[in-house]
Amino acid sequence: MEPKLEPIVETFKSREKHMCVKGEGLSIPVCDKASLPGTVTQRTCVYGGARIVLMPITDSIHLVHGPIGCAACTWDIRGSKSSREDLYKKGCSTDLGEKDIIFGGEKKLFETVIELRKLYNPGAIFVYATCVAGVIGDDIKAVCKKTEEVTGCRVIPVQSEGFQDHNKTKGHWIGCDALLDYVIGTREPEKTTPFDINVVGEFNVAGDFWGFKPLLEEVGVNIISTITGDSHVDEIAQAHRARLNIVQCQKSSNYLAKKMEKRYGIPSIKVNFFGLEQTVNSLREIADFFGDPEMIERTEKIIESGLAEVEHKTDEYRERLQGKTVALYVGGNKAWSLVRAFEELGMGVMMSGTKNGIREDYERIKEAVRDGTIIVDDANSTELARLLKKYRPNLLISGAKEKYIALKLGVPFCDFNHDRISAFAGFNGFVSFAKEVDASVSSPIFDLTSTSLRGD
Ligand code: SF4
């Protein structure tokens, strides 16, 4: 029989088991359920999940087939950087209105695609289905096929109607399916090498990819495509020729890696370039996979010089951060992949949670955190505020939606989501990470904030 435990914070009965403490009976919270109606969930919809995966393809137009409100979920909620064009940053919508809902929006979609093609000549036009497009039954696939024939441009349907599921993870899979069904395998690379790889689940937020891309190039692998950070659609089209997929965001993109293994026989390994130890391990695993003695030797030298370059650069921060606690409330992958990086700064993760976690994600979190860590699923804003007030971490790592909850409670906050502006991946990224964490945790402003809100 399960031991009777005190709730982590005061909440509705049906929500109590969505929070647990590792090591105390239930170590995996109840998860992957519809949010409780009336509570202010921090989740986004299935369409949002698909956008997150596909949005960073820079040479493409991302067209939202729906009312203008859905287009608010656009490039600026995804801080993916581009080294080439900015086409992906155009906010495009068919702006469905009442008339379209009554008579159908296919004609409008057709005309919009033709116009966008004329205006921008993009690598592809991704057409995202929203709730309204789904409810009125527009045949998006048929319109995409027809406009592709007329324009000669790739027009890719993304069947991401927001209402399909309570979990945006399904949107990630739908985004991956659009790539599998319409892009990957449709173009052959000019040349191949024995060391061709795809970097999967790396979205180049704040330029993270650029923090470890040079390391991979020095190791001697040839990057065919990045899926999807700083990418072109024609590069992703050649991804089926890679010898290996390295998967950075395992929450959104394991699905794609598994399907590519089944369809094209490409094995995958999970990597993590956040933190020194994890960067070292990832580089070693890639070199070990290829088993080339020269590559292995070269990789050891890269590791040695990478570590030497950042040695002592984080000492000052580490000294101030020693013994401080951090709460993670993030999108999934980071809920486990950041744990070790914080430990390297001398900090302890006292809480880790996600908004859209599935059981597999919580298994990963459970493995990564120490006994006594609180694990939370889909905490709404009231629960999050109560958690912060009761357990008082020295830092909350989360996204824009949680930022002001933390700041109003006088809890230092660091954005590790789509809006951040500093890149944290790779050896030098770790120094920026330490600097930014320290700037928040050690800021004197938090001694001046209202104590009444904090409940002191
Ligand atoms: S797709 Fe649906 S749930 Fe998502 S933003 Fe649009 S209307 Fe809202």
What band does 453 get if pLDDT is binned at 50, 70 and 90?
low
| Whether the Cβ atoms of residue 275 and residue 212 lie closer than 8 Å to each other | no
Q: Tell the residue number behind the tokens 């495009």, with chain if given.
A: 92
Give mean pLDDT, residues 109-115: 98
Q: List, for residues 198-228, the tens digit of each pLDDT value.
A: 999 999 999 999 999 999 999 999 999 999 9
CATH 3.40.50.1980 boundaries in the chain = 46-182, 196-310, 315-454
Q: 225, 259, 217: which is closest to 242 by C-alpha? A: 225
Helix (H) or strand (E) holding 350: strand 348-354
C-alpha of residue 141 to centroid of ligand 1, in Å = 19
| Residue having the nearest C-alpha atom to atom 6 of ligand 1 | 70
Q: What is the DSSP letter of 95?
A: -
C-alpha of residue 423 to centroid of ligand 1, in Å = 30
C-alpha of residue 130 to centroid of ligand 1, in Å = 6
What band does 6 get if pLDDT is binned at 50, 70 and 90?
low
C-alpha of residue 426 to centroid of ligand 1, in Å = 35
Q: 65, 331, 365: which is closest to 203 by C-alpha? A: 331
| Residue having the nearest C-alpha atom to atom 5 of ligand 1 | 70
- Collapse the DSSP code of 202 into the 3-class scheme (helix H, G, I; strand E, B; otherwise coil) and give the result: strand
Give mean pLDDT, residues 361-389: 93
Any idea which architecture 46-182 has in CATH?
3-Layer(aba) Sandwich (3.40)
C-alpha of residue 273 to centroid of ligand 1, in Å = 33
Average pLDDT score over the chain: 92
| Residue having the nearest C-alpha atom to atom 7 of ligand 1 | 131
Domain 196-310 coded CATH 3.90.1150.10: no
Compute CA distances 214 → 50, 141, 224, 380, whole Å.
Answer: 28, 39, 14, 40
Give the homologous superfamily in CATH for domain 315-454: Nitrogenase molybdenum iron protein domain (3.40.50.1980)
Q: Higher pLDDT residue, 97 or 448?
A: 97
**Ligand 1 neighbours (beta carbon < 6 A):** 45, 47, 66, 70, 73, 130-131, 162-163
Q: List, for residues 383-438, the tens digit of each pLDDT value.
A: 999 999 999 999 999 988 899 999 999 999 998 877 788 899 999 999 999 999 99
Inform me whether the pLDDT recorded for 74 exceeds 80. no
C-alpha of residue 160 to centroid of ligand 1, in Å = 9
Q: List, for residues 229-268, the tens digit of each pLDDT value.
A: 999 999 999 999 999 999 998 888 999 999 999 999 999 9
Q: Which of 43, 94, 95, 163 to mutate to test the pocket of ligand 1 (most atoms within 8 A of CB)?
A: 163
How far apart are alpha carbons 310 and 87 in whole angstroms?
Answer: 36
